[in-house]
Each structure stands twice: as structure tokens, then as C-alpha cells.
Structure 1
Amino acid sequence: MFSLDYRVLGFGTPDEVDAWLFENPMRCPGALHFQDINATQLTYGIQTNSTPVARRGTYEDPTFKFQIPLQVAAEREMARLIIGDPNFSWTVGFKEFAHPATETFSTIAQAGPTFFLAIAMFGFVFQISALVTEKELKLRQAMSIMGLYESSYWLSWLTWEAFLTLLSALFTVLFGMMFQFDFFLNNNFGILFLLFFLFQLNMLSFAFMISTFVTKAASATTVGFAIFIIGFLTQLVTTFGFPYSTSYQKYYRTIWSLFPPNVFAQALNILGKATATPEDKGISWNQRGTCQSFETDCVITVDDIYKWLISTFFVWFILAIYFDNIIPNVNGVRKSVFYFLMPSYWTGKGGGKMQEGGLCSFFGSNRSADDATPTDEDVLTEQNLVKGQAASNEVDPGIAVQVRGLRKTYPGSFSMGCCKCRTTKPFHSVKGLWVNLEKDQLFCLLGPNGAGKTTTISCLTGITPITGGDALIYGHSVRSTAGMSNIRRMIGVCPQFDILWDALTAKEHMELFASIKGLPPSTIKLVAEQSLAQVKLSQAANVRAGSYSGGMKRRLSVAIALIGDPKLVFLDEPTTGMDPITRRHVWDIIEEAKKGRAIVLTTHSMEEADILSDRIAIMAKGKLRCIGTSIRLKSKFGTGYIANVNFTGNGHTQSPNINSNTEAPVNPNIESVKWFFKERLDVDPKEESRTFLTFVIPHQKEPLLTRFFGELQDREREFGISDIQLGLTTLEEVFLNIAKQAELESSTAEGTLVTLNLSSGASIQIPKGARFVGIPGTETDEHPRGVMVEVYWDQDDNGSLCISGHSDETPVPANVELGRPPSLSRRASRGRGGPVGYIIDPNQVPTTR
């Protein structure tokens, strides 16, 4: 027996050997048992330790490590004994008998799916991110408004990405062959290329479908990598045989195969085993539809996997289009779940025009509580005209847009906070708008922020779904999908905020939207150049829009709105951010563009509205407050006429001995003119200097003006007058008066108060928009009804009303009625900022101050 300490031990019987081995485990690798020893026969047995021993990180095989060497050594010594030659020796070698290859492990089959999935996932994450970015930045919305078909949008994405996918699949196979991988060299090139192409194409349509559920680009990247991790885990499961074996039911394989990485992993598993050993020749093109000889449990072939990838591609692509239509976007627009069953969706006809006296949602729609009869006679006349035409289903041929009771309500919300629930009431953005917009005219829609202007435009262009009512644009209803599709082909839109691609140049923008508008390809380049020249962007035509200034971006947006000769153009604050010279130039462009089309303009510039508009409508708090020409609004809602009287020189001669620091003497001519206006018209100057006077004359004095100014003109030399100018009050004053009245009504109804700081240092609470306010606690024997002030309002940077000052305190006339807002009748008369002031009706104040 041979021990590990290189000693040879001798024992009398095999039992003694076994006893020693039990007492000394793992100390002896083997023993020889000699039975018959004579000159002609030697009989022996070999006993070895079959326990594998780890040495230097590998396990030693007892057969080859000790048993065979021991046998060779024993027989060599016996041969030397028999022949009597102590130097006798021979060489014994070991060779494995020929048998079929036993190596079945394939590195490509086991590890390949992970790396090849990673190749596809780079494009997958980018595709989701790019699609969602276009949606988040409203770039797709801008193209849709200008008439882009949904089919064109998706096909353009599919065409470009499919081309990139084809290149990716081609280079993947070529690089695999270049690096001499048997997987790529032995398997048929067409099989490999088609597999990689179909898989990446499948992931493309899967990305389209996933993008419809994601609204933020940052979330899209996270979702993309999450799907990559899921695909990695499911591929590991697939590599170990689930569910592609006869051990699993077919419906398991059906569900499992819907996820593209799973069938892709199985295909790699089959192709990898086909090239696992040097003797394997791979799979040829003709063998793709048959089970291979090495597959003992074949349930799916490479050809079956191709069919799965092709069919699921169409499944994901169709679902992407379907979900894109039925899932509400950020503006809440969506189609019916069964929209594809409607004939109008496929034909583009039906449901788009008013038929058989149908008034869409005019009759039978839910009426808002705020949809009350207007108080302004012009608004009421317009409303009755539109209602009459709607009832008879007749629209004047000269009408481009007819708005029929348009309403938009944003629903309230419910949220749960810490220990309490919070709810918000529905917000009525547009409350029953009835108006006609004529062809060849510019209709200006004015109003403070939150009045409903942009919401109205959004409803008319299909950005926001309307809650009630309807609108016809050249006979097509905005409520129907087919109607809106027809409308968008004939409109141009300059949105309130620029929607541009930072990476595209101005010329590329124009060519893109010219293509969307359907211009002939041969004229697109020329039209783009002419449009950019019109807005003075020719020199910056090849500069990326991301580097433009705010004014340049607005000019580009105006050019985009006018391209393609649209019949109706919406310009939402188009000149914001422009310098005066450029703004005047754009005004000329807009004025020229009125020919042959209708234009809807919103702006915060009263000068712009006054110059460009044929008709003006002012909205406030979702309602149409007034409508008419600029002159009509000024004469009706302005405080009256403005008279400017200029005097010759300074109107006096200064004595040489008067010190320059001495206050200049009063001009007697100015005092005479002030007395003349006070005596004849009972008005005081609004502005006064040593060279001019400005008076505001109420409309009530209009019958006296002809005689008054005739007499004043006759006495020009006597009064030292050089010039007399008479005009209506500005449109800005009309706007502020309308906005103040709307704010007053709203504040009165809701109980909204703002603080007015008086000159005396005290403060009172007044409803927003109140003009004349009585001050509580100022009643005295001299002024038994107290005193009042006129509050001056202006617009802040956000377009909201704010207090700009107030007049001096004057006694409250005896015939003036004092009152508080009804919503405050049950409240305490004192608020946080002081007592609540009295509201005075401006019509009761005899003199405009």
C-alpha cells in the first residue's frame, strides 16, 4: 500500500488494509493486492481512492491521476521480474475511443441574446424618447394643426427608423463575420440578417406603442431601460427552455412570444446550438423551417419565429395608432373607442358638415349656468343673428367662421392631503360664444389674461375639445373628426408660444410645413425663400431656430402660419417680443394677408388692434362683453371725447428781473380756457401744463359740442390757442373699462377683495375692478354721507388688473346709492386690510373725473 508520505506499507490480508484505510482517511491513494505469485502467473488487484481531490483550483480524476499510472508501474516491475532485465521499459499512452461530439454549449446561444438585445435597445430608448419629446414640446401638435395626416406622421417615423434598423442589422452580421465567429460564419447570412432586422423592426413598433402611454421625455428614458431589464430577465428564462418545449402548453408559448426579446432569444438559442462544435455546419436557408437533428424537443423553428416577429410587428403598430387616438393628450383630446368603425374616419366625409338641419350640440347640449342673455345690445344682436342662422341651417356665403354657443369647461379635481380632502370647482373658460367671422376681414379678439381668448382659438383649431356648442369653419364642424381634418387643411396658426425645432433652420421649417400643406415639390424651395424674405429672415434662413431671438422666432411663426395660402389664419399675439420697426413691418404683412382670407387676431397691444382690425370683440371672464368696429367701441364704452388744446409759446412774457428759480406765473390764457370748459361743459382738465390742456368730455355733452367748439375756434386768438384736437378716447381705455366691469361682477359674485391704500395712510378693501368707492367711517356733519374716491386701474405685466392710484377724496353726492357686494352682506364689515368700501354705480356720478 502506498501512503501520501511516500512510504510503502505491507499487510498480511485485505482486511488489515481496509482497517488501516478507515483509521487513516485520505492518506493513501491506492493499494496492490497480490494473490498468486509463481513463474507463470501473477494475479493482483488494484484498490484506489475514488474521491476527487482539488489541487490548484481543479479536480483531479483518480483514474488518470493514480490508478492507471499504478497499474503501469506494477506491470512493468512484474515484466522485469519475469524476463530478468531490470532496465526493461515501455511507453503506455491513453487515447479516447471515437464517438459523437459531446460539446453542446454555445457562447453565442447563452450570452448572445443579452448583447444583441442591448444593440436593439439603444435604438428603442432613442425612439421612445424622440416620440415623447415631440409630443411634450407640442411639435407634433403644431404639424397636426397645419394639416399633417396621422398616417403620414407614423409612416415617416417608420420609414426612417426602418432604414436605420436595416443598417444596424446588416452591420451586426458583417462585424460578426469579420471577427470570425462560427455563429456568423456557419449559419446562413440571410437567416441571420432577416432575424436581426425583423427583431429590431419589431422593437420599433413596440416603441411606438409604448410612447402613446408616456407624456414626459424624462420618463420615456426610464421606461425604455426598464423594458430592457425586463427583456434581459425573460431572455434568461427562455435560454433555460421555458416555454419552448413539449413540457409546456401552447398558450404559454403564445403569450410568451408576444414580447419580442423572447422569440429572439429562442432563435439565437437554435442558431447557437447549430454551430456549437467545429463539426456543426450551421443552418442553411432551406433548413430554416425544419427541426434540427440536435433538437430533441423541438416545438418552434426559425421560420416560425420569423412569422411571429412579422405578425407581432403589425400588432404593436396597429395598437400604437389605436392607443394614440383613444388616449387623451395633454389637452384632453381623444377619439371614441370605436372610432375606426365610423365611415367618416375612412372616407373623410360625413359628420363634417351640418346636414338635415342638425345643429350638432347646439340643441340638446347641456347649458351652462353662466350662459345668460348678454347685456350689451351689440352682443345680443350678434347672438340672435347667429342663432337664427343656426336654427334655419343657413350660413351666409361671406361667413368664414360661425361660432354657435361655444363653451369650454375644465372639470374640477379631487385630491386627498394630510387629514383632509381638497376639491376644486369646474372652471368655465368660455361661456357661450356666438359670433360670425367674415371673409376678407381681420377679427380681433381682446381680453385680459384668463378671458378665454386662447381657449377659443384652441377649440376652433382642435387643440382642445369643446364642452358644448359648435363652430363651423367654411361649413365644417369642429366637433367631428372628419370635419376637423378638413378644417386643418385650410387654416394656418401662429400659436401664443413658438413651437419650433431648435435643430432645424428657418428654411427647413418652411420647407417642412410647405410639404405638409401639400405644395408641389417643385415650388417648395421658392415659396420658402419668398416667405422668409417677406418676414425679413432671408439672411438667417440657414441659421438654426434655436439660436434665434424671441422676435425672430415670432416672425418665423407668422411666416409658417401664412404658408400654403390658408383660407383662415389664427394669430395669437404674433408681435410679442418684436421691436417697433419690425412690428410695423409685420403689421403690413398682416394687413396685406387679409385679402382672400379671414384672420383671427389676439393681442395685448391696443394700438395693434386699432390699426389692423375690421371688427373687435372683447372677452372677459369667458363671456363676450362687446363687439363692433373700433370707432363703435370707443364711442360706446369710452369715457367720451378727448380734447387737446395747445397754446402759442408759453403764453406769457417773463420779466428779466425774475429769478430763474422763481415759480413761473400762471398763464392767464390757460385759466381762461379752463374757465370756458368749466362754464360750458362742466369738465375739468385731465392733464395740464404751461403749453397744453387735455379735457375728457362725457358722451352726455355730445349735443353741445358743435356749438361749443365753434365758439372756441372763434376765440382762438383771444385765448392764444395754436391748435385744437378732438378725438374719441383710446381703445385701451375701452378695454380697461370692460375688464374692470367684468372683474367687478366676478369679484362681487365671489367676494374677491383687494386692498386700496389711501393717501391718509388708511386702507380699505374693495372689489377688484370697482371704479367709485365710498370710504366707511368718513361721515361728518359737513359730509353726512362720507367721502369717496375714484380708483384708477391698469394692467400688470401679466395682463391682470391692478390698482395704479386713486383720486382725491370728494363728498358723496346726495343722490348716489351706496352698497356693498352681495356676497359680503353676511360677512363682517371689516377685512384683513381694513373696512370694506361701498360700491358706487359710475352712472350715478354726474361728472367724469
Structure 2
Amino acid sequence: MVELNRGIPLLFQQFKALFKKNIILSWRNKRSTFLQLFSSLFFIFLIFVIDKALTRRFASTTSYNNVRDPEALVFPPIPRCEDKFFIKKPCFDFAWSGNGTDKFVSIVNRIMLNNPGRQIPSNKVKSFRTADEVDAWLFSDPMRCPGALHFVERNATVISYGIQTNSTSVSRRGQTEDPTFKFQIPLQIAAEREIARSLIGDQNFSWVVGFKEFAHPAVDTFSVVGMVGPTFFLAIAMFAFVFQIGSLVTEKELKLRQAMSIMGLYETSFWLSWLTWEGLLTLLSSLFTVLFGMMFQFNFFLNNSFAVLFFLFFLFQVNMIGYAFLISTFISKASSATSVGFSIFIIGFLTQLVTTFGFPYNEGTSIILRTIWSLFPPNLLATALNQLGSATATDEDDGISWSRIAKCPDSELDCVITIADVYIWLVGTFLVWFILAIYFDNIMPNSNGVRKSLFYFLKPGYWTGKGGDKVEEGGICSFVSSIPPLEDAIPDDEDVREEANIVKQQTMEGFIDPNVSVQIRGLAKTYPGTTNIGCCKCKKTASYHAVKGLWINFPKDQLFCLLVPNGAGKTTAINCLTGITLVTAGDALIYGYSVRSSV
């Protein structure tokens, strides 16, 4: 005789069996499990590629770097006009005015001859008598020359000059061209060098001039992980999200969950087994995410605290698991899991995009709006990644340590939520999703249309285990009409009438035959008419009798076959006997236990 467990031992026994079931299920879906664990490698690699592309684009500017000791620009050559990003050919390296003076002609010739790295051919220089002629040529034939020199002799010892260039920076294929450093400064150094040598009369006079930009902090900051990371890390979490919804809905759709409940499954063991297994996978996935980020040498992962990053990704993915629990209670088809997951991802992408630009986590937004916005987990992830990215935007930034999670980064002047606040929100909303998932799982009709009442948790029997699992029929938004009276039906078959009379007589006398395993006493099932209220329409269904008063004995140690035409109520009768479907009238005893009170 096997002793059955009860209470905590039974709960633990069920938990172990369900946990093993989840392991087997994940093993059978190896691809999904692999993506859940290692998809972060692919997405972090994409972030790495984007980071390299942006680094390449901004390589020609120092606006995104802290410049402490700028490198001097010494002996810069006058570049070829073809090196300019946007130029028409044939072009000229430079133009000049003042060709009516021999001294200026000599200075220009020396500029062409002494250009560092290469001599400038005479056909690449265009001369004019006056500055007005240069202006007229530039206006009539634009984009032929990057710059011009204008010489004026004040007296025998003073020569002044002017430089004419377009100082507007331009970009092409991710590269930025700064005319000041590329064209203006080389012309300025060359003109001053040759003017000085001309006035001194020494053509070998050493003229060394270096130009530096001002030392400055990063004028603009940009963290690729903080900007594009929210979308990619949401995508990582969506694999577990979709798989979790699909698994839960599949068990509900195939009535596996219902079968386990009939066999005495505790709700606690069911939800804890899923939460424990998914929590373990999430822990590994979060760990791999941080390690992969460190492997690609992102400042975001290297400078921010390992614990801060790990708990952020772990709590976010656990929160999404609770969100999946909640969403699964409203879905009846496992095939819808992917569509629902994709919809959540699109919504998350759009709201994260808004959050990245500071809304609504700033001082100008109401607390109510911030609270509503924070109920959607991807928004919390976006604002946390934005803060962590701002704290590691440059190589010199220290990032956020565990001791500073309750403080805003110095670069975030309009900060109203800290990393610690994000942690609290993620834990709190997870508990809300988890509790709501259990609640809606009980009050939403299952595959047989059976559910618990809206306030089932207020009944003492629910907490004591005595009568708290009573169920009812119909949806939340439906009204059940009165059940029509059941007419007495007299069987046509003589043997059936005789069997029914025997059972009726035993029922009246209260006699329980020890040789009978199942005794059905006038079992009847009537589905009442309902009015289902939808968003835009009402749907009414008529009542009908599925089983009309069944009286029969099933002897022990015998195989009993129920042979009746299709639609006669075979499945409904079995469902009533197993407790799947509520009994409308009559009763049935299984080894003396009533299906109304014991199943």
C-alpha cells in the first residue's frame, strides 16, 4: 500500500516532478533554449558593429573625446584641390590676387616651391590683379578652388595679406572635413613664412609654427549601448517571453494543465516550478550578456559595476517572465504567442525610443504620467541603460558603482529616477504581474468554460483548502439565463429502463452496493443560454440539454463500454464524472464519493 503525501511533502513532490518536466521540455526545444541563453552574443556583436561604424564616422572630429593635450599641427602642406570633398574639375589648389607686383609673384612662387611634401604646379594656381576679380570668379565659377590669398603692400617693411575660404564643415560618407585645419591654416602658414623670408631677405630663414586646438572635454557625448542597446536587449528578453507564453498556453490548450489539476495539482507548485526554471535560465542569460559585453571591450560593460549591470538585466528579464505569465492567461491558442510577442516588441521599441530622448523621466513631467509609463518594463530598461551609457560616454568616465546606484550620474542634470529606483520598480511590478497572472488564471474560463468567481480569494475555504475551489460556468463578461426544466425521458430500450429502475430504487433506499464501482444517479447536464458582451456586439447562445438524466451502475472489475450515437452526450458524461464539467442535476458516486462534493 503506497502512502500518499499531503500538504508540504506533496507540494514538494509535485514541484520536483514539474521542474523535471520543464527541463525535459526545454531540452526538446533545444533551439529555443539556446537562443534564450546565447542570443545576447549575436545582438552585442551587432552593437559592436554599430559602435565601430559610428567611431569611424566621428574619427575626424574631437567633439566626442576629452582632449587634454592636443597634438600640434606643424608644417601642414597645402593639399591638392582634388582632396576637397566637393569640388569641380579642373580645379585649383588656391587662387591669389596682387599679380601686378613682382614681390607678390615671387612670394607665391616660393609658396608653390616650398610646399611641404610636394611642389605645386603653376597650372594649379590661378592669379588675379585684385580681390574683386577673385570674388567675381568665385561667384561665376563656384566649387573650383578651396581658398584664396590676397596680398597688399603697406610700405617697404609691411606686407599684409588676407585669406578667403569657406569655413563651413562638410561631411561625406561618415567623414567630416574642417576647412579651417585642412585649407585655411596651411595657406596661412605658407603665406606668413614666405612673407617673412621676403622681408628679411633670407630664403633659408627657419619658420616653424604649430597650431593646436584648445584642450577641452567632450562637447558631445554618445553611448551606442545607451542609445541602441534598449532595443537589442529587449529582443534578447523576447525569446524567453515568447517561449514562456507558448508553453503555458500549449498546456492549457491541450488540457494538460486541467488534467493535472484533476489529479490534485497545487497551483503553487505549478507556478513555482515555471518561475524557478525560467529564473535559472534568466540568471544564466543575464550573466552571459554581461560577459559578452565585456568580451567586446565596451566601456559600458568595463566601467560600470558588474553587479549593477547583472542585476539590471536579471531583474528586467524576470519582470518580463512575470509579464508573460500575465499575458498567457488571456490567450487560448499557442499559435498566437509569436504574434503577441512581436506586438509587444514593436510597442516596446516605440516607447523605448521616446524614453531614450528623456520622456517622461524629467522634472517637467507629472508623477502620474511617470508612474503609468514605468508600468511597462521596457521603459524602465531604456532609462536605466541611458543613465549607464551617460556615465561611460568617454574613456575617462568612471561609470556607476554599486555604492552610487541611488545617485544620478553627473552628466544627467534633469534626472528624476536612479538605478536603485529602477530596481525597485522592476521587483514591484514583477510581483504585480505574478499575482495578477494567478488571479486571472483562476477567473478566466478554461477550455471547458469553467472558472472561479471574481472574488474567490475572499472565501475562507480557498485559503483553508475546504471548499474554496468551487467553480462556475460562463465568461466574465457574459450573463447566464435561467436553465429550462428538464423533461423526464423514458428510455425506449427495456434493459436500459430496468437498469434505471434498479439505480433509482437503490438511491431511494440509500443503499450502496459494494460490488458497484460507479453509480450514476440521474446525472444531467444542461448548458444555459448566455449573452456575451464584446467590444462592439452582443452574442447570444441558446440553452440545450447535453445529458438528460442518466441512471446506471458500473460493476467492479469489469470493462464498461458506452455505445451511443454521436452527440448523445458521451464526452459530457465522462467530463462530469471526472470533474471537468459541472453537473446540473443528479449525482454520481465513484467508490462512494460524490462527484459534486469530492471531485
> What displacement does 1:15 show?
4.8
Pairwise mapping of residues 631-670 of structure 1 onto structure 2 (< 5 A)?
Answer: none
- Equivalent position of 2:95 in the other structure: 2
- Equivalent position of 1:447 in the other structure: 563
Q: CA RMSD in A?
A: 3.6
> What displacement does 1:40 show?
4.2
Query: Aligned partners of 1:246 and 1:471: how far apart in 2?
Result: 67
Pairwise mapping of residues 475-486 of structure 1 onto structure 2 (< 5 A)?
Answer: 478=595, 483=597
What SS does the aligned partner of 2:450 have? coil
- Equivalent position of 1:303 in the other structure: 420
Pairwise mapping of residues 693-842 of structure 1 onto structure 2 (< 5 A)?
Answer: none
> What displacement does 1:66 show?
1.9
Taking a change above 3 Å as real, the CA distance of residues 205 and 371 of structure 1, as seen in their structure-2 partners, is farther
Taking a change above 3 Å as real, the CA distance of residues 168 and 54 of structure 1, as seen in their structure-2 partners, is closer
Pairwise mapping of residues 277-292 of structure 1 onto structure 2 (< 5 A)?
Answer: 277-292=394-409
Q: Quick check: 2:483–2:528 contact (8 Å CA) kept in 1?
A: no
- Equivalent position of 1:547 in the other structure: none
> What displacement does 1:335 show?
1.0
> What displacement does 1:116 show?
2.1
Which of 317, 324, 332 is equivalent to 2:449? 332
Query: Aligned partners of 1:102 and 1:53: how far apart in 2?
Result: 18
> What displacement does 1:346 show?
1.3
> What displacement does 1:221 show?
3.0
Could you say which structure has the higher strand fraction? 1
> What displacement does 1:377 show?
5.7
Letter aligned with residue 407 of structure 1: A
1:71-95 alpha-carbon deviations (Å, 9 max, x no partner): 1112111210221012224233332
Pairwise mapping of residues 112-127 of structure 1 onto structure 2 (< 5 A)?
Answer: 112-127=229-244
Q: Quick check: 2:150–2:163 contact (8 Å CA) kept in 1?
A: yes
- Equivalent position of 1:185 in the other structure: 302
Q: Quick check: 1:131–1:211 contact (8 Å CA) kept in 2?
A: yes
Pairwise mapping of residues 168-567 of structure 1 onto structure 2 (< 5 A)?
Answer: 168-350=285-467, 366=483, 368-372=485-489, 376=497, 379-380=500-501, 382-383=503-504, 386=507, 405-410=522-527, 426-433=543-550, 444=560, 446-450=562-566, 451-469=568-586, 478=595, 483=597, 487-488=598-599
> What displacement does 1:149 show?
1.2
> What displacement does 1:424 show?
8.3
Q: Quick check: 1:352–1:476 contact (8 Å CA) kept in 2?
A: no
1:752-794 alpha-carbon deviations (Å, 9 max, x no partner): xxxxxxxxxxxxxxxxxxxxxxxxxxxxxxxxxxxxxxxxxxx
Taking a change above 3 Å as real, the CA distance of residues 7 and 98 of structure 1, as seen in their structure-2 partners, is closer
> What displacement does 1:474 show?
7.8
Query: Aligned partners of 2:468 and 2:523: how far apart in 1?
Result: 18
What SS does the aligned partner of 1:2 have? strand
> What displacement does 1:278 show?
0.5
Which of 166, 180, 194 is equivalent to 1:63? 180
1:578-621 alpha-carbon deviations (Å, 9 max, x no partner): xxxxxxxxxxxxxxxxxxxxxxxxxxxxxxxxxxxxxxxxxxxx
Structure with greater contact order relative to length (CA < 8 Å, sep ≥ 6): 2
TM-score of the aligned structures, taking structure 1 as reference length? 0.49
How many percent identity over aligned positions?
66
1:163 aligns with 2:280: yes
Q: Quick check: 2:483–2:526 contact (8 Å CA) kept in 1?
A: no
Query: Aligned partners of 1:99 and 1:8: how far apart in 2?
Result: 39
1:84-125 alpha-carbon deviations (Å, 9 max, x no partner): 012224233332222222341111112222332222222222
Could you say which structure has the higher helix fraction? 2
Between the two proteins, the alignment pairs up a number of residues equal to 459
Which of 177, 200, 207 is equivalent to 1:83? 200
> What displacement does 1:263 show?
1.0
> What displacement does 1:223 show?
2.4
Query: Aligned partners of 1:160 and 1:53: how far apart in 2?
Result: 55
- Equivalent position of 1:102 in the other structure: 219
Q: Quick check: 1:368–1:431 contact (8 Å CA) kept in 2?
A: no
Taking a change above 3 Å as real, the CA distance of residues 436 and 149 of structure 1, as seen in their structure-2 partners, is farther
Query: Aligned partners of 1:94 and 1:333: how far apart in 2?
Result: 82
Letter aligned with residue 2 of structure 1: A
Taking a change above 3 Å as real, the CA distance of residues 475 and 102 of structure 1, as seen in their structure-2 partners, is farther
Q: Quick check: 2:499–2:551 contact (8 Å CA) kept in 1?
A: no
Q: Quick check: 2:225–2:385 contact (8 Å CA) kept in 1?
A: yes
> What displacement does 1:220 show?
2.1
What SS does the aligned partner of 1:320 have? helix
Long gaps (5+) in structure 2: 1-93, 97-121, 471-481, 533-538
What SS does the aligned partner of 1:349 have? coil
Query: Aligned partners of 1:231 and 1:54: how far apart in 2?
Result: 33
Q: Quick check: 1:386–1:435 contact (8 Å CA) kept in 2?
A: no
1:175-197 alpha-carbon deviations (Å, 9 max, x no partner): 32233322222111111111111
Letter aligned with residue 37 of structure 1: R
Query: Aligned partners of 1:229 and 1:66: how far apart in 2?
Result: 48
- Equivalent position of 1:736 in the other structure: none
Work out which of the two has the higher radius of gyration on C-alpha atoms and give 1 or 2: 1
Query: Aligned partners of 1:192 and 1:241: how far apart in 2?
Result: 21
Q: Quick check: 1:366–1:468 contact (8 Å CA) kept in 2?
A: no
Query: Aligned partners of 1:435 and 1:338: how far apart in 2?
Result: 37
Query: Aligned partners of 2:325 and 2:396: how far apart in 1?
Result: 43
Query: Aligned partners of 2:172 and 2:269: how far apart in 1?
Result: 69
Query: Aligned partners of 2:468 and 2:381: how far apart in 1?
Result: 46
Query: Aligned partners of 2:517 and 2:187: how far apart in 1?
Result: 108
- Equivalent position of 1:656 in the other structure: none
- Equivalent position of 2:265 in the other structure: 148
Query: Aligned partners of 2:174 and 2:295: how far apart in 1?
Result: 35
- Equivalent position of 2:48 in the other structure: none
> What displacement does 1:471 show?
5.2
Letter aligned with residue 10 of structure 1: F
Q: Quick check: 2:575–2:581 contact (8 Å CA) kept in 1?
A: yes
1:731-762 alpha-carbon deviations (Å, 9 max, x no partner): xxxxxxxxxxxxxxxxxxxxxxxxxxxxxxxx
> What displacement does 1:239 show?
2.2
Q: Which moved more, 1:365-374 or 1:450-459?
A: 365-374
1:305-357 alpha-carbon deviations (Å, 9 max, x no partner): 1111111111111111111111111111111111111111111224789xxxx
Query: Aligned partners of 1:105 and 1:53: how far apart in 2?
Result: 20
Letter aligned with residue 242 of structure 1: F
Letter aligned with residue 206 of structure 1: Y
- Equivalent position of 1:128 in the other structure: 245
Query: Aligned partners of 1:381 and 1:477: how far apart in 2?
Result: 19
What SS does the aligned partner of 1:432 have? strand
